[in-house]
Structure 1
Amino acid sequence: MLNLSPFGMFHTAIALVAVAGGLVALFKYGEIGTRTRPGRLYVWLTAATAFTGLFIFRHGGFGPPHALAILTLVVLAIAGVAERREGTGAARYTAVLGYSLTLFFHLIPGLTETGTRLPVGAPAFTGPEDPTLKTIVGIAFLIYLIGAAIQVSRIRRSRRMAVTL
């Protein structure tokens, strides 16, 4: 029906659980991080999603989805190191914004794969270059930027409050 292999279904399932964990962490705690259960779930399953994505070759060889998977792993690693070094000023911003950026990264293949497969028989998008898809991904990036600005503002506020105490 959706032309997904068993491995592709596994990859998709862990990605969906990762995104759910990330959204719970983001809305409940204002950020994604490994100090909360949904944050840890998000980080580990996002890493697993990116790793398993490296072994999916639906369109032939290495391509943009594989590069995005590698970029996701790099950003997760940078955010993880920064989270452990949160005593320094920039580290907190790097961790919070890095993890949030990987949530945006989930949306790119998620929207692409969903939109090129559904509805069955008449997919919403013709492919990764579809102008409507590019517009939707652009809007998602703007939402990420707004969310990032809110997170930066929240971190600054909390730092000011800590200084005044």
Structure 2
Amino acid sequence: MLGLTTIGIIHTAISLVAVAAGIIGFFRDKEINPRTGLGRTYVWTTVLTCLTGFFIFQHGGFGKPHVLGIVTLIVLTVAWVAGSTGVFGRAGRYIETVSYSLTFFFHMIPGFTETLTRLPASGPVFSGPDDPTLQKVIGGVFLLFLVGAFAQVMRLRRLHKVGTPGAIPAA
């Protein structure tokens, strides 16, 4: 099926669950919140996406997608530490929120790349991962991430100033 191996199909299915959970979380909670069932689903399916991705070698061996998986796991760890310990002080809630959003952006890189270099099957939209137009698309998605991260930080600041229940605790 579109050149996917069995592990590739499993990996893709798991990643689609993560992306769906992330999108629903953004609309419902304005963030990926690991203290909700939806947020936990996002985090664990993202971890599984990374782990299954380490067994995919369609492009010859260890490469950029594997590095992205490692970086994603590191950022997930930073997000978890920021949200569940006091290591980052008052900045912890901000770091947590932006880090989870960053991992969502990371899903978009292989998501757009693999989808648009395979579909439509009769003539994919882009020639390959290094296609300059695809790079511009990924750059545009990164700009959306930056705008979204800024909006999330501003929302958290408003919650903190207002003292809304569930707001960022003062250090």
Same-fold status (TM-score > 0.5)? yes
Deviations 1:22-64 (A, max 9, x none): 1111110011021111111000000100111111000111110
Which sections of structure 1, spanning at least 5 residues, go unmatched? none
Correspondence for 2:142: 141
Which sections of structure 2, spanning at least 5 residues, go unmatched? 165-171
**How many angstroms apart in 1 are the aligned matches of 2:8 and 2:15?**
10
Correspondence for 2:83: 83
**How many angstroms apart in 2 are the aligned matches of 1:59 and 1:42?**
27
Is 1:51 aligned to residue 51 of structure 2?
Answer: yes
Q: When you count helix as a share of all residues, which structure comes out higher?
A: 1
Instruction: Normalising by structure 1, report the TM-score.
Output: 0.95
Is 1:60 aligned to residue 55 of structure 2?
Answer: no
Instruction: Give 1:131 shift.
Output: 1.1
**How many angstroms apart in 2 are the aligned matches of 1:7 and 1:61?**
15
Correspondence for 1:117: 118
**How many angstroms apart in 2 are the aligned matches of 1:42 and 1:5?**
24
Correspondence for 1:73: 73
Check the 8 A contact 2:7/2:55 in 1, yes or no. Answer: no
Instruction: Normalising by structure 2, report the TM-score.
Output: 0.92
**How many angstroms apart in 2 are the aligned matches of 1:141 and 1:16?**
19
Correspondence for 2:168: none
- The 5 A counterparts of 1:9-48 are 9-48=9-48
Between the two proteins, what is the percent identity of the paired residues?
53
Correspondence for 1:102: 103
Instruction: Give 1:121 shift.
Output: 2.2
Q: Equivalent residue of 1:40, what SS?
A: helix
**How many angstroms apart in 2 are the aligned matches of 1:31 and 1:85?**
19
Check the 8 A contact 1:78/1:95 in 2, yes or no. Answer: yes
Check the 8 A contact 1:79/1:94 in 2, yes or no. Answer: yes
Paired AA for residue 114 in structure 1: T
Q: Which runs of 4+ in 1 moved over 3 A?
A: none
Instruction: Give 1:88 shift.
Output: 2.4
Is 1:151 aligned to residue 168 of structure 2?
Answer: no
**How many angstroms apart in 2 are the aligned matches of 1:121 and 1:53?**
26
**How many angstroms apart in 2 are the aligned matches of 1:33 and 1:71?**
20
Check the 8 A contact 1:53/1:66 in 2, yes or no. Answer: yes
**How many angstroms apart in 2 are the aligned matches of 1:117 and 1:55?**
20
**How many angstroms apart in 2 are the aligned matches of 1:131 and 1:38?**
35
